[in-house]
A and B are shown apart, each in its own frame.
Chain A
Amino acid sequence: MVGLSLGEQHFIQGGIAQDLRCDGRKRLAYRPISVETGVIPQANGSARVRMGATDVIASVKAELGKPSLLQPNKGKVSIYIDCSSTAEPAFEGRGGDELSAELSTALQRCLLGGKSGAGAGIDLSSLVVIDGKICWDLYIDGLVVFSDGNLLDALGAAIKAALSNTGIPRVHVAAGASSDEKPEIDVSDEEFLQFDTSAVPVIITLTKVGKHYIVDATSEEESQMSSAVSISVNRQRCICGITKRGGAGLDPSIILDMISVAQHVSEQLINKLDSEIASAEAGDDDES
């Protein structure tokens, strides 16, 4: 909840029109990003991402389960986001549920592809242990610790970092079990499989304020937005998902323009994120 006076509102809008925002950034510049991995030792993988004051934690937990009948050769991934009341008193009780649900579905759309599992950022077939019988269920939980705008991008980055931090135990299947019996399995404590996260897209939210659009809006800037488009782009510059939020309508040509801008920005963001993740992982290894 941001209470801004008329003068402050004009100041923000005027700054964006002149390509100089309140914190000195240009329209298409991100706030500093910091990544910390392995923050939740009990999870298979976890990461904490800070973008300016926005602070989120993502964790990945893997459990053995049964694949769905329709996709016997694919594992299951689900994303849940929780808005902690520490982030804003308004999230107390059930207050954060609506935002949590909106963020969860937006992230599922952007990262997991369609219902069939096609176009997912993660290789779902790598989660299968035995076709049609056993697979890994990945539970991705996000927690918003503090919100200062641009939650979707931060959560997307945190999930990407958490996935690259994730180790799935290797499962040995006892040979010779007949096909209709429950197979005997042995979950290894020592061997872990790492994910290939190079295909996981990043999410770029372009927030339209006045005639222009900006990336990585703070909560003050978000309060002035007319509409926002979140585009997830992977390393190959392919679009993996689009979500539009906000009340005002957008001209189709502007959307296409936004997409090409997002593709351009994504490259810098992916490189920045990858180097942050790599240095966080390296720091982690030194400690242990």
Chain B
Amino acid sequence: MEYVSPEGLRLDGRRPMEMRQIRAEIGAVSKADGSAVFEMGNTKVIAAVYGPRQVQNKSQQMNDQALVRCEYSMANFSTGDRMRKPKGDRRSTEISLVIRQTMEASILTHLMPHSQIDIFVQVLQADGGTRSACINAATLALADAGIPMRDLVTSCSAGYLNSTPLLDLNYVEDSAGGADVTLGILPKLDKVTLLQMDSKLPIDILENVMQLAIEGCKAVANYIREILLENTKQLEFRRGV
């Protein structure tokens, strides 16, 4: 199947290096400590952060750092064909782990010993790149909760189809069988915290694809920073400063 037309357009009309439209909103869940909605095209996720608070399960308490927990779940209606999966299947357990590790890398956990931070992400609509969208939503929610972080982690995926590197794959492109690189970076420190790839790629092409994904992550980071700034301005306005 042709994923990039001779004119250089993808199935949804994007250019190879174009991202889907991103939209974010802070404060979607009113009583959580921090929350956010993040959309990348048709993919839409909600993240809520509770904490830092007392550790619920005393045996998990750590004396030198905070405990970070994460749960990823998909709504029954999120996929094209309706599915009814029990919570905690292998895929969601794996994604929960990935998100937890990625976020833990940026949270300054040593500042909050004896406490726990819960991150819950809920996928409302899945159209490829749920992992990235979840990480971006979680970053925003953590920032909204005022949790100290080294940097904003942002994530974006890139792939390689029809000998063209493509940024931000959607579901059709994702399931096409080409390589899919999901990358998470700390944009200010310029460090990679998450890197996953399936399928195979020659090394020199991987370099290009990764570079493309890094550009995508940076674009997301700029957008997230804008949203946070806007939110802070509004808070300032409401306080009458």
A residues whose Cβ falls under 8 Å from a Cβ of B: 39-43, 46, 53, 55, 57, 59, 61, 63, 80, 82, 84-87, 89, 92-94, 97, 139, 141, 143, 145-146, 148
Q: How far is the CB of B123 from chain A (nearest CB, A)?
A: 10
A82 close to B76 (CB less than 8 A): yes
B118: which of A55, A92, A146 is its contact (CB, 8 Å)?
A: A92
A86 close to B32 (CB less than 8 A): yes
B32: chain A residues at CB < 8 Å are 86, 146
B155: Cβ under 8 A from any A Cβ: no
In the A-B complex, the 8 residue pairs with the closest CB atoms: A86-B48, A59-B77, A141-B76, A85-B120, A84-B122, A86-B120, A53-B30, A61-B82
Q: List 13 A-B contacts (CB under 8 A).
A: A39-B124, A41-B125, A42-B42, A42-B80, A53-B30, A61-B82, A84-B73, A89-B120, A139-B76, A141-B75, A141-B77, A145-B122, A148-B30
B150: Cβ under 8 A from any A Cβ: no
Query: In whole angstroms, how far apart are the Cα atoms of A77 and B80 in the complex?
Result: 19
Query: In whole angstroms, how far apart are the Cα atoms of A42 and B78 in the complex?
Result: 8
Q: How far is the CB of A117 from chain B (nearest CB, A)?
A: 21
Q: A84-B120, A89-B56, A141-B82 are in contact. List 6 more A-B contacts (CB 8 A).
A: A59-B75, A84-B122, A92-B118, A93-B87, A145-B122, A146-B31
A63 close to B82 (CB less than 8 A): yes
B87: which of A61, A80, A94 is its contact (CB, 8 Å)?
A: A94
A86 close to B46 (CB less than 8 A): yes
B118 close to A41 (CB less than 8 A): no
A89: chain B residues at CB < 8 Å are 50, 56, 118, 120
B50: chain A residues at CB < 8 Å are 89
B79: chain A residues at CB < 8 Å are 42
